[in-house]
């Protein structure tokens, strides 16, 4: 039997295949650093790890005494047919636990605790109640699974801990949207921030989490930051516009005067040519 060929080791976290983009990378870094600065300690939990793109970043935020746990099926069977179809369509061709571990170890000395199983096993309380400061839910996209994952996150989170829920508004994941907004309407989850891909919320002090986000000049760095009100509560919307603002080049006074004096058609032609 021939050994499986592993992809070359990633040189940067963005070389790891996955679905974790700039705005969320920056928001994860910012929230996790803000928690540490505020003295909030606790474990980190990720449900749905794939090849480790988000896990690599999360593992970089561990402080002494904190534990990082990831839960994913990797190469194991799915617990039901719909989940098996999801796995076959999106992950089976590329995903092995071995590939995840190789990617993770390209950036960190030690692996996190790896639970290779359906996320539903976490409902047995094996993650200590109130032990986590940050939980990333990014596993199955089926309503029943996500609703269960949100309850796992709720039990695992410390008072002001943050939960991040992936794909809460993608056209192909209506079950995630249903579970997320149900958690808000029925189970007391408070929205903090929405990015195009992820919902950030807490069962604790949402105002403090929003203030922590607003302490950074996101707009000045080229991000788009807006506010919305949902059922009386403000939620922040954060997106990456793609281009950091460039300082406008200073024109010399002579050049400005020349452009002002020339006929408008010539001025426009010069601007277009530039
Ligand atoms: C969207 S990917 C995770 C992406 C990853 N967080 C990243 O940043 O690239 C979803 C992962 O969830 C896993 N998954 C799907 N259903 C699952 C289930 N019921 N229990 C555990 N893991 C599951 C898949 O194996 C896949 O690795």
CA distance 175 to 191: 18
Residue 1 pLDDT more than 90? no
Residue 248 pLDDT more than 50? yes
> What is the phi/psi pair of residue 138, to 5°?
-150, 45
Residue 7 lies in a domain: no
21-25, 37-41, 256-260: segment of lowest average pLDDT:
256-260
CA distance 164 to 158: 14
Residue 88 pLDDT more than 80? yes
Residue 273 lies in a domain: no
- Percent above pLDDT 70 for the chain: 86
If you average pLDDT over residues 173-201, what whole number do you get?
98
Residue 191 to residues 8, 19, 115, 249, Cα–Cα distance (Å): 39, 22, 28, 40
Residue range 128-173, pLDDT digits in tens = 999 999 999 999 999 999 999 999 999 999 999 999 999 999 999 9
Rg (CA), the chain: 22
Residue 266 pLDDT more than 90? no
Residue 270 lies in a domain: no
Residue 1 lies in a domain: no
Residue 244 has a pLDDT of: 65
Residue 181 pLDDT more than 90? yes
- Per-residue pLDDT band for 39 (boundaries 50, 70, 90) equals very high
- Per-residue pLDDT band for 269 (boundaries 50, 70, 90) equals low
Residue 127 lies in a domain: yes
Q: Would you report the helix, strand and coil content of the chain in percent, each value rounded to 5?
A: 40, 20, 40
Residue 175 pLDDT more than 80? yes
Range of the domain at 132: 13-246
Q: Is 20 in the pocket of ligand 1 (CB under 6 A)?
A: yes
Residue 268 pLDDT more than 60? no
Cβ burial of 229 (10 Å; 0-12, 13-18, 19+) is exposed
Residue 16 pLDDT more than 50? yes
pTM metric for this prediction: 0.89
- Of the chain, the end-to-end C-alpha distance in Å amounts to 62
Ligand 1 atom with least separation from CA of 140: 16
Residue 95 pLDDT more than 80? yes
Ligand 1 atom with least separation from CA of 167: 1
Q: Is 141 in the pocket of ligand 1 (CB under 6 A)?
A: no
Residue 167 lies in a domain: yes
- Percent above pLDDT 90 for the chain: 84
Tell me which residue has its CA closest to atom 14 in ligand 1. 139
Residue of 17, 27, 50, 137 with the most ligand 1 atoms within 8 Å of its CB, for mutation: 50
Tell me which residue has its CA closest to atom 27 in ligand 1. 50
Residue 121 pLDDT more than 90? yes
CATH code, domain carrying 68: 3.40.50.150
Residue 264 pLDDT more than 60? no
Please say whether the beta carbons of 163 and 35 come within 8 A.
no
- Per-residue pLDDT band for 241 (boundaries 50, 70, 90) equals confident
Please count the structural domains in the chain.
Answer: 1
If you average pLDDT over residues 250-267, what whole number do you get?
56
- Per-residue pLDDT band for 261 (boundaries 50, 70, 90) equals low
How far apart are the CA of 28 and the centre of ligand 1, in A? 18
Residue 257 lies in a domain: no
Residue 199 has a pLDDT of: 98
CA dihedral 18→21→24→26, nearest 10 degrees, is: 120
- Per-residue pLDDT band for 58 (boundaries 50, 70, 90) equals very high
Residue 130 lies in a domain: yes
If you average pLDDT over residues 191-201, what whole number do you get?
98
How far apart are the CA of 223 and the centre of ligand 1, in A? 28
């Amino acid at each position: 039997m021939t050994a499986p060929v592993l992809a070359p080791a990633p040189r940067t976290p963005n070389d790891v295949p996955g679905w974790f983009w700039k705005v969320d990378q920056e928001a994860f870094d910012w929230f996790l650093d803000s928690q540490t600065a505020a003295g909030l300690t606790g474990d980190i939990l990720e449900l749905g790890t794939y090849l480790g793109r988000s896990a690599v970043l999360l593992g970089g935020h561990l402080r002494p005494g904190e534990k990082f746990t990831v839960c994913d099926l990797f190469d194991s069977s799915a617990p039901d047919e719909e989940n098996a179809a999801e796995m076959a369509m999106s992950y089976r061709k590329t995903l092995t636990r071995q590939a995840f571990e190789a990617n993770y170890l390209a950036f960190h000395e030690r692996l996190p605790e790896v639970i290779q199983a359906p996320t539903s096993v976490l409902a047995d309380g094996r993650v200590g109640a109130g032990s986590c400061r940050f939980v990333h839910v990014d596993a199955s996209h089926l309503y029943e699974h996500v609703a269960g994952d949100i309850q796992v996150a709720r039990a695992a989170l410390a008072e002001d801990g943050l939960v991040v829920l992936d794909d809460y508004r993608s056209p192909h994941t209506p079950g995630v949207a249903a579970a997320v907004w149900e958690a808000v309407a029925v189970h007391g989850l408070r929205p903090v921030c929405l990015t195009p891909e992820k919902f950030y919320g807490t069962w604790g002090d949402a105002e403090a989490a929003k203030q922590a986000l607003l302490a950074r000049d996101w707009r000045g760095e080229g991000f788009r930051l807006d506010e919305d009100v949902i059922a009386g509560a403000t939620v922040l919307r954060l997106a990456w516009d793609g281009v950091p603002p460039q300082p406008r080049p200073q024109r010399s006074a002579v050049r400005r005067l020349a452009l002002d004096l020339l006929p408008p058609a010539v001025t426009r032609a010069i601007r277009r040519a530039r």
